């Protein structure tokens, strides 16, 4: 089934797709000619117009060439969000160089595994915004420099590397985003210029992005949500991007008021922490220019959605995607308001199907595994044909690994990751259902539910992050859940934690919690 070809900005999605340039850098450089004085990027005290950004990109392009970067080479950037990363990304685009964007807060062994797979020609470390990047640079013997425009960086020696062939017509790889590696060796997801630009164009259109909008870029660009939707979506559509290296609720509240942030995208945990901060500080959040908020990257529960909308005064839009789809697959549309946690309709031009365990399409309303095909699907995993074949069919269909259903209006609902499904006494337990109930408790900030194997069955285990100082007990929360959940969905164990383990984007690391739950059972 194919999603409808909706009009975006007065033109159909097909027309916008046909107009996409070959490189992610083309539109930002064109804005320098059309609106040279419009603000493009605000990085702490540094403010660049589009003319400034273009000048820095051209200078960085020559610098990278001098550093020995060739078309088809990989430039690995160990980073947190900053102007240096944005500039290097666009400059590398002009040279047909791939950028492997690596979050500096990964553990040393993770960074080293990625380096071994990526085989970069050079590695750049963004020292100015990341002590972790500085630590990796020192460990790798990189040379620190004080770049006149990009701030403090470190540069690796020239490394042995074989360039990849250069593809034409937007099929060249623009960026590689590595999976977390929690289930093994990290995989490099090859994202093309065309795929990233499709998301930048379509999602930007859905947010009505233009030169008047100021976009808060706190989602790490080492995560594809922060790269394609936030960073490239802003610069493709002539908006002003605020790259922010780390999320702090106080800094966000200040930026909403003083910088007039108008577009705010994040993960559910970010909004939960912001509401907690505003409540604890006794603040009235002021966001005079805020017109669009959206969430993705993890399941959203209805209680958090309602509370966020009440505080921010905007509709909290919801979307769904994955790294292998650059990332967006579905999105609620601007102007819509849903009193549900639907992730909206599939994006225009994408084909999709929901399959049962026998590979047959399920009827509307039934749960099936979601497959998609379209211009945003990855090229594959870098130098990993076996993993590519396990996820991406020869005819271009991508298995998302997510279980979902559609309603009569073709709105999509993500039920669970197929591998996170808990089967308890023969009943299916979807963790988001249980988490939504736990998160309704006024003294709960976040929760994560995992399955734990026991002889002949699975248990439901809930890890909960209470509001600091609330005095919440596991027994109190267990009683709260018992009044709202069927018996088979109720957690066998509730564990209270000061902070749930999470990635830099705020996505809870359920694999770690699942391993913790299993280990605790074995040692009990």
Residue 251 maps to which CATH number? 3.40.50.12780
Q: Are residues 34 and 154 in the same domain?
A: yes
Domain final position from 351, 380, 406: 406
Q: Which residue has the tokens 């403010």?
A: 47
Q: Are residues 109 and 252 in the same domain?
A: yes
The residue count for the chain: 524
Are 280 and 274 in contact, with CB atoms under 8 Å apart?
no
- CA–CA separation, 131 and 65 (whole Å): 27
The candidate with the shortest Cα–Cα distance to 295, out of 43, 462, 448, 506, is 506
Does residue 272 belong to any structural domain of this protein? yes
The packing angle between helices 249-258 and 268-281, to 10°, is: 80
Q: Are residues 401 and 435 in the same domain?
A: no
Q: What is the b/e burial string over 305-340, where b = at least 16 CB atoms within 10 angstroms of the residue's CB?
A: bebbbebbebbbbbbbbbbbbbbbbbbbeeeeebee
Are 177 and 189 in contact, with CB atoms under 8 Å apart?
yes
Helix (H, G, I), strand (E, B) or coil at 121: coil
Identify whether 327 is preceded by a cis peptide bond (ω within 30 of 0). Answer: yes
Q: Are residues 180 and 267 in the same domain?
A: yes
Are 196 and 233 in contact, with CB atoms under 8 Å apart?
no
Are 142 and 125 in contact, with CB atoms under 8 Å apart?
yes
Which phi and psi angles does 306 have, rounded to 5°? Answer: -65, -45
- CA–CA separation, 162 and 73 (whole Å): 7
Are 282 and 253 in contact, with CB atoms under 8 Å apart?
no
- CA–CA separation, 272 and 12 (whole Å): 36
Does residue 40 belong to any structural domain of this protein? yes
Q: Provide DSSP, 388-432.
A: HHHHB-TTS-EEEEEEEEE-TT-BEEEEEEGGG-EEETTEEE-HH
Domain final position from 406, 433, 451: 406
Q: Are residues 398 and 425 in the same domain?
A: no
Does residue 89 belong to any structural domain of this protein? yes
Q: Are residues 487 and 395 in the same domain?
A: no
Q: Are residues 29 and 103 in the same domain?
A: yes
Domain final position from 374, 406, 438: 406
What pTM did the predictor assign? Answer: 0.86
Does residue 465 belong to any structural domain of this protein? yes
Chain centroid to Cα 401, Å, comes to: 17
Q: Are residues 24 and 98 in the same domain?
A: yes
Does residue 414 belong to any structural domain of this protein? no
Q: Which domain holds residue 440?
A: 421-523
Does residue 1 belong to any structural domain of this protein? no
Residue 434 belongs to a domain with what CATH number? Answer: 3.30.300.30
The candidate with the shortest Cα–Cα distance to 155, out of 142, 171, 173, 168, is 142
Q: Are residues 227 and 326 in the same domain?
A: yes
- CA–CA separation, 464 and 479 (whole Å): 14
Are 355 and 371 in contact, with CB atoms under 8 Å apart?
yes
Q: Are residues 286 and 400 in the same domain?
A: yes
Does residue 412 belong to any structural domain of this protein? no
Q: Provide DSSP, 252-303.
A: HHHHHHHT---EEEE-HHHHHHHHHHHHHHT-----TT--EEEE-SS---HH
Q: Are residues 207 and 311 in the same domain?
A: yes
Query: Token pair for residue 204?
Result: 């930007």
Q: Which residue has the tokens 């790889």?
A: 173
Are 356 and 368 in contact, with CB atoms under 8 Å apart?
yes
- What total of structural domains would you count in the chain? 2
Does residue 172 belong to any structural domain of this protein? yes
Are 236 and 27 in contact, with CB atoms under 8 Å apart?
yes
Q: Along the 524 residues of the chain, how does pLDDT read in single tens digits?
A: 888 888 877 788 888 888 999 999 999 999 999 999 999 999 999 999 999 999 999 999 999 999 999 999 999 999 999 999 999 999 999 999 999 999 998 888 889 999 999 999 999 999 999 999 999 999 999 999 999 999 999 999 999 999 999 998 889 999 999 986 434 578 999 999 999 999 999 988 888 899 999 999 999 999 999 999 999 999 999 999 999 999 999 999 999 999 999 999 998 888 988 999 999 999 999 999 999 999 987 778 898 999 999 999 999 999 999 999 999 999 999 989 999 999 999 999 999 999 998 999 999 999 999 999 999 999 999 999 999 999 999 999 999 999 999 999 999 999 877 778 787 877 778 888 899 999 999 999 999 999 998 877 889 999 999 999 989 999 999 999 999 988 889 999 999 999 999 876 677 888 889 888 888 877 76
Q: Are residues 365 and 428 in the same domain?
A: no
């Amino acid at each position: 089934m194919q999603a409808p070809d909706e009009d975006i900005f007065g033109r159909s999605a097909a027309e916008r797709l046909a107009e996409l340039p070959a490189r992610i850098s083309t539109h930002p450089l064109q804005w320098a000619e059309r609106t040279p004085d419009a603000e493009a990027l605000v990085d702490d005290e540094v403010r660049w117009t589009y003319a400034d950004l273009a000048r820095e990109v051209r200078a960085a392009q020559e610098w990278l060439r001098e550093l020995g970067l060739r078309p088809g080479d990989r430039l690995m950037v160990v980073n947190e969000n900053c102007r240096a990363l944005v500039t290097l990304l666009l400059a590398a685009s002009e040279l047909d160089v791939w950028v492997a964007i690596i979050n500096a807060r990964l553990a040393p062994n993770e960074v080293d595994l990625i380096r071994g797979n990526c085989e970069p020609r050079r590695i750049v470390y963004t020292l100015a915004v990341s002590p972790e990047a500085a630590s990796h640079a020192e460990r790798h013997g990189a040379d620190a420099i004080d770049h006149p425009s990009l701030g403090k960086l470190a540069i690796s020696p020239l490394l042995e590397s074989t360039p990849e062939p250069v593809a034409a017509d937007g099929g060249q790889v623009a960026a590689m985003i590595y999976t977390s590696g929690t289930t093994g060796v990290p995989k490099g997801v090859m994202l093309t210029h065309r795929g990233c630009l499709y998301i930048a164009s379509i999602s930007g259109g859905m947010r009505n992005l233009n030169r008047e909008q100021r976009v808060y870029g706190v989602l790490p660009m080492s995560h594809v949500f922060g790269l394609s939707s936030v960073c490239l979506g802003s610069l493709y559509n002539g908006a002003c991007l605020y790259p922010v290296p780390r999320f702090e609720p106080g800094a966000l509240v200040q930026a909403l008021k003083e910088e007039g942030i108008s577009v705010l995208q994040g993960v559910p945990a970010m909004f939960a922490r912001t509401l907690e901060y505003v409540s604890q500080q006794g603040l009235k959040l002021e966001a005079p220019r805020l017109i669009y908020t959206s969430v993705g990257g993890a399941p959203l529960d209805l209680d958090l959605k309602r509370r966020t909308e009440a505080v921010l005064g905007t509709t909290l839009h919801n979307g769904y995607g994955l790294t292998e789809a650059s990332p967006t697959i579905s999105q609620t549309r601007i102007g819509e308001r849903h009193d549900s946690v639907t992730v909206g309709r599939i994006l225009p031009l994408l084909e999709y199907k929901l399959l049962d365990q026998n590979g047959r399409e399920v009827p509307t309303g039934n749960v099936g595994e979601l497959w998609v095909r379209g211009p945003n699907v990855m090229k594959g995993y870098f130098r990993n044909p076996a993993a590519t074949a396990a996820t991406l069919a020869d005819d271009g269909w991508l298995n998302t690994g997510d279980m979902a259903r559609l309603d009569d209006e073709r709105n999509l609902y993500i039920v669970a990751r197929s591998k996170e499904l808990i089967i308890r006494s023969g009943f299916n337990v979807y963790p988001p259902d249980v988490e939504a109930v736990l998160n309704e408790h006024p003294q709960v900030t976040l929760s994560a539910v995992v399955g734990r194997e026991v002889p002949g069955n699975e248990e439901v285990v809930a890890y909960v992050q209470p509001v600091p100082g609330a005095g919440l007990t596991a027994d109190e929360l267990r009683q709260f859940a018992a009044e709202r959940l069927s018996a088979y969905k109720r957690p066998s164990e509730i564990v209270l934690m000061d902070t749930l383990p999470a990635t830099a984007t705020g996505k809870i690391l359920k694999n770690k919690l699942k391993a913790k739950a299993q280990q605790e059972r074995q040692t009990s």
